[in-house]
Amino acid sequence: MTDEELKDLDKEVKKLKRISSEWAAQMHDLVEDRLPAAYQEIPTLAQSTFAACQAWAEASARLTEALKGNSA
């Protein structure tokens, strides 16, 4: 993997982490401010948060593997 590709992947990981954190903040707000009245929002919000975190985890794993490959 080229240095440019590594930089792009690192940028993607950071972006996906930010997005995951934003979804987590929405879940926090739901718990802190709107439950139990807004309990119907839990499944949709949880699924979106899970998907965002999963995308971050996958990209992070790709970056870790790429960094291992480049250092070898």
At 69 the pLDDT is 87
Q: Collect contacts of 17-23 with beta carbons under 8 A, ≥24 apart.
A: 17/56, 17/60, 19/52, 19/55, 19/56, 20/49, 20/52, 20/53, 20/55, 20/56, 22/52, 23/48, 23/49, 23/52, 23/53
At 11 the pLDDT is 98
Q: How confident is the model at residue 72 (pLDDT cuts 50, 70, 90)?
A: low
Q: How confident is the model at residue 55 (pLDDT cuts 50, 70, 90)?
A: very high
Which pTM was predicted? 0.90
At 34 the pLDDT is 97
Q: Which amino acid is at 12?
A: E
